Amino acid sequence: MKQTQTKDRNMGGGLVGDNIGLNEEVIKKTCSLSFKAHNSENEPYISELFRISSDLTEYLVLSFPGSWVETDWFVRKSFGETKIDLAKFPLLKSVGNDETALVNQAFFNRFERLLKLSSFVAEVKKAIAEGKQVVFTGHSSGAVLAILATFWALEEYLYPTKIQIQHKSPMCVTFGSPLVGNHIFSHASNREKWSHHFIHFVMQYDIVPRIFLAPFSSIEKLISPVLQLLTPNNNSLTQDPIRDSVTCEFYSTVMRNAATVTSHVACNLMGSTNLLLETMTNFVELSPYRPFGTYIFCNGNGQMIVVKNSDAVLQLMFHIAQLRDLAQLSEVANKSILQHLAYEAELEESLGMQNVVYLNKLDDLPLSSGEGHDTDIAAALDSLGLSARARLCLRAAGELEKQKERNEEKIKKEFQDKAVPSMRDLEEYKSTCEINNGKGYYDAFKVQKEPKDFQANVKRLVLAGVWDEIIEMLKRYELPDEFEGKKEWIEHGTRFRRLVEPLDIANYHRHLKNEDTGPYMNKARPKRYRYTQRWLEHANRSPKAEITESTFWAEVEELCSWTSNNKPFEDIKERVLKLEQDIKMWTDKEVLTKDVLSKDPTFIKLWETLPQEHKATSCISTLFTVKE
């Protein structure tokens, strides 16, 4: 049954330049500079400063040459991935899960060499400070440097505490870039809202963006002749039988491995529960690399297809480069090499034609060309030769994205219905305890004497239920990538952690679990607090704190049990000093109220067992002036 729908339903609308936020003229410029950089191989990069007619912005384009040396691509291990250096790229991780991004080691080594170049660093710094629009660009393995340089510049000059009004976020434009990193690249750049800074042009059959879907072992023997063929200006472009057999085998091998990994991903997108997917990972090597950012596929006829969903990009990478039948092999394999070098001509044509299709509403993509509510989309999908199977994969990618949004909606509702009132009650509990008992809620909760203490315990458990569900979803990446970067959730999380974690600690010590299970911090701290602490630390770019304003109670209890067992003060002196300094800082900042501490029996017990000479000089002795 056909449905009538409005025509522009799938359209992001407008010129490609407007849509991606970079003028067509600039794109053409970056493309030509990308290829120009290859000619000046001895330079680590070339740069050009210019203006375009239509606006006042001054552009600085930095373009990096490619390398066709095998060791600049592969480290001779199956996929050659390594954990990225978080000191240089602190955001390339998932925050709560604390999962570090994986990056191609050979590429990363090359980038590190670039970063040692003080002239490069200085030029970027100056341009950003002067409010210029910096654009990093590159073709092939040069593109990789552009990508990593962009992440580095974004982190170095534009993170929240450093940014100034005149600063413009750098952009990255790549042509035929190989894949650089794993799914965390996409996850993290979505979270930081940096995805739109990365624009990748990929020709329909260009083999380079697909290479890293195959393990090194499968292409080892072919790689050096292929790299030679991929080198711009190489002189062996004539057809010969050896060349033909190399390209055919290379294309087939890469594509077959691409088929394996894309179908594995597709099964997961479709929600398959068959554990064969897991069992098979023992027998099949699966590439960890995934695309990220905005992709613009060029079909060779001047049409451009813009896709932002990275799951969909991966599916397209495989499906649009497939053969129609075996007779095409030699022709397509040859194209897969030639197109890698054909970006300048292709862009010249397609940016002029402005035949652009935006694949936005993936979840109800037409499944066959006959289904024509949007002729542009249908035609574009047909021109790419997408089979019904491929379209279903794209739909699944779109559906998953939607599902993540629905999950967040569900959580929001749950949060409003359950967490908000419980938090209100606990706030009230805290202040009543301070006023009535004069002892603070930590102790009251630990003693559990009155009905209100019990009510507080129920609220604590309700909140734990809501937050544990959020954490579970995060662990499985079932919430939108943006979630952990959202200010409101970071604030909710921090407020929750500060108010409720002391109760969890009190509960833990009330049941004396520290005696059989071990210290709270090592053995029992729930993920809901570990994650929310990481959120705040990530947002503030502050290092991981061992003891925080919500967990110092655990430290107080630990120290207390130490001193009450008459163990020597000297052994814990440093910990006591550190705790006292922290407490001073928190009370000064008013994250903690003085009374919470100075009237708490556990804390007083600790204080009283400390040596007199220590107390006299302690930075928090003023808290106890009345008592002493």
Residues annotated as catalytic are 140, 206, 340
Choice between 244 and 469, CB closer to other proteins: 469
Comparing C-alpha atoms, which of 472, 474, 444, 465 is closest to residue 456? 444
Cβ at position 622, least distance to other proteins in Å = 36
All residues at 6 or more sequence positions from 285 whose CB lies less than 8 Å from its CB, including other chains: 78, 79, 215, 217
Q: How far apart are CA 470 and CA 414, in angstroms?
A: 10
Angle subtended at Cα 237 by Cα 231 and Cα 238, rounded to the nearest 5 degrees: 160
DSSP 491: H
Q: Phi-psi bin for 233: left (phi > 0), alpha (psi -120 to 50), beta?
A: left
Other beta carbons within 10 angstroms of residue 228's beta carbon come to 13
Choice between 382 and 628, CB closer to other proteins: 382
Cα distance from N-terminal residue to C-terminal residue, the chain = 84
Strand partners, 60: 49, 134
Strand runs labelled E in 105-188: 133-139, 171-175
Cβ at position 446, least distance to other proteins in Å = 12
Cβ at position 402, least distance to other proteins in Å = 9
Strand runs labelled E in 143-258: 171-175, 198-203
Contact 576, 619 (CB under 8 A): no
**Residue 455 token pair:** 């009510």
**Residue 313 token pair:** 């990009």
CA pseudo-torsion sign 307, 312, 314, 319:
negative
Cβ at position 77, least distance to other proteins in Å = 15
Choice between 29 and 460, CB closer to other proteins: 460
Cβ at position 506, least distance to other proteins in Å = 14
Cβ at position 267, least distance to other proteins in Å = 4
Other beta carbons within 10 angstroms of residue 359's beta carbon come to 24
